[in-house]
Amino acid sequence: MAREKRQKPVWYKLDNAAMMYSAIQKENYSAIYRFSAVMTELVDPEALQRAIDKTLPRFPGFRVRIKRGAFWYYFEPNGAPGPFVKEDMKNPCQPVRFGEDDGWLIRFFYYGHRISLEVFHALADGAGSLTLLRTLLAVYLRELGHDIPNTDGVLDIDEPPPREEQEDAYFRYAKSRVRKGMGDRRAYQGNGTPEPFYTLNVTMGLVPLDKLRETAHGYGASVTEYLAAVLIEAILAKQRREGRRRELPVALAVPINLRPHFPSKTLRNFILTVRPSIDPELGDYTFPEIVAQVHHHMRLHISRQEMQAVITRNVMLQKNRLLQIVPAPLKNLAMAVSYKIAGCRPYSTTFTNPGAFQVPAVMEPHIQRMEVILGQSYTPRANCASLSFGNTMEITFAGTVKESEVERDFFRHLVREGIHVKVISNREE
């Protein structure tokens, strides 16, 4: 008998962003985020589990576990049963541990009307995870007897996944002649009093999107630019109350989805950040001036040429031959230190707005609203995220800090502008 050919093991390299998220992983920290759909009917957990089992084979990039090689982390297919849907918990986005829970890096939860997906950021950015959640919700509704088409971003689970969805798009577009350097100044950190492990304080504000958009346009800004300006103003006020002798710039890390600028069907990470900022040492700023500063900064720096230069710099570091032969533990230590210096210090917090969650029209009556939570920050401060569905914009502050003055000032500003805010929180106070 002819000897059977031994099958080549399947494994995936980590993309540029995934390498960083895996390197900064600690026992008490993981880069985790959550998307939730609040349905109009109570969730059927058995139907949801059937939907998960049917949907995930279409998304092989999420059916993986992470392994540490001699020089790099890598992903390999996870053939373990699951992941299994669980009842939700009070403190979401808890750290993953690579050797636990059969190695799963995604989680599914339900509670009442809510279906939640949590993702370790090394797997995918928000756009990729929302594609998974949108498709899962469609399959779940089909399990309940509804006819849902494969349109408006719902993928066909009966089709094989194309290779383009697993593309490392950073590598594809690292072609710029210029490698943009790292020259960002240290920003005000805004850290607070850390809560006991693991307590994630979550405060959500629900606002009418039409009124929010009207207010933003009144300042000549987009919704993202306007909300970023409100957040900067709230953090500036916090710094001023601390009575610092010399105030530092307040800067945000705002993730930008690169797919509209560099066409790619990847479901992996494909984002960069821009950092709008205000330096109070230059003088006092009115709110309209803050909005204008944020608006012009983002319009100036969200350019194809500049973003490609940043992509090239990051990928060239990854391709460095000396770096490639450094053992993984030393490399991870160096990347973690670098992230603490260059990744955290130049901004005060993160604000992300993935935009509107689109679904086929027949799905819309089954969903009340969408929610997003950015898990704990690398340092004790609150992150901010927003997501809209229909006419509801949901804005979340989440962090492992006791203080809540930034979110209070943020939502009070919206109320002063005539924007109604409904607040929901897991805080016990």
What domains appear along the chain, each with residue ranges and CATH number?
12-167 (3.30.559.10), 173-357+373-425 (3.30.559.30)
Q: pLDDT band at 25, cuts 50/70/90?
A: confident
Pairing of strands 349-352, 383-389: parallel
The pLDDT value recorded for residue 427 is 86
Identify the residue with better confidence: 244 or 56: 56
Contact 233, 413 (CB under 8 A): yes
Per-residue b/e over 265-292, b at no fewer than 16 CB within 10 Å?
A: ebbbbbbbbbbbbbbbeeeebebeebbb
What is the pLDDT averaged over residues 114-129? 97
Would you place residue 5 in the very low, low, confident or very high pLDDT band (cuts 50, 70, 90)?
very low
Q: How many residues does the chain have?
A: 429
The per-residue pLDDT of the chain, averaged, comes to 91
Tokens read off for 15? 């993309």
User: Max CA-CA distance within the chain?
Assistant: 83
**Which residue reads 């609040």 in tokens?**
38
Q: Where are the beta strands (DSSP E) in 73-194?
A: 73-77, 86-87, 106-111, 114-120
pLDDT band of residue 322 (cuts 50, 70, 90) is: low
Going by pLDDT thresholds of 50, 70 and 90, the confidence category of residue 378 is: confident
pLDDT over 90 for what percent of the chain? 73
Residue 44, judged by CB atoms within 10 A of its CB (0-12, 13-18, 19+), counts as middle
Give the pLDDT of residue 2: 40
Which position has the token pair 């006419």? Answer: 391
pTM of the shown model = 0.94
Residues facing 274 on adjacent strands:
254
CA dist list (Å): 252 to 69, 164, 197, 235:
34, 32, 26, 10
More confident residue, 255 or 378: 255
Distant-in-sequence, close-in-space partners of 284: CB < 8 Å, separation ≥ 6:
none
Mean pLDDT, residues 181-190 taken together: 77
Q: Are 29 and 376 spatial neighbours (Cβ–Cβ below 8 Å)?
A: yes
- Structure confidence at residue 232 (pLDDT): 98
Q: Which of 265, 264, 261 is nearest to 302 (CA)?
A: 261
Helix ranges (H only) for 242-384 are 287-301, 304-319, 321-324, 328-338
Place of tokens 């000032």: 409
Across 127-156, average pLDDT: 98
Q: What is the pLDDT of residues 382-418, one digit of tens each?
A: 999 999 999 999 999 999 999 999 999 999 999 999 9
pLDDT in tens, 341-375: 666 788 999 999 999 999 999 999 999 999 999 99
Q: Given a cut of 70, is residue 142 above it in pLDDT?
A: yes
Query: pLDDT at position 415, please?
Result: 98
Q: Which amino acid is at 176?
A: S
**CA distance linking residue 166 with residue 264, whole number of Å:** 10
Q: pLDDT band at 245, cuts 50/70/90?
A: confident
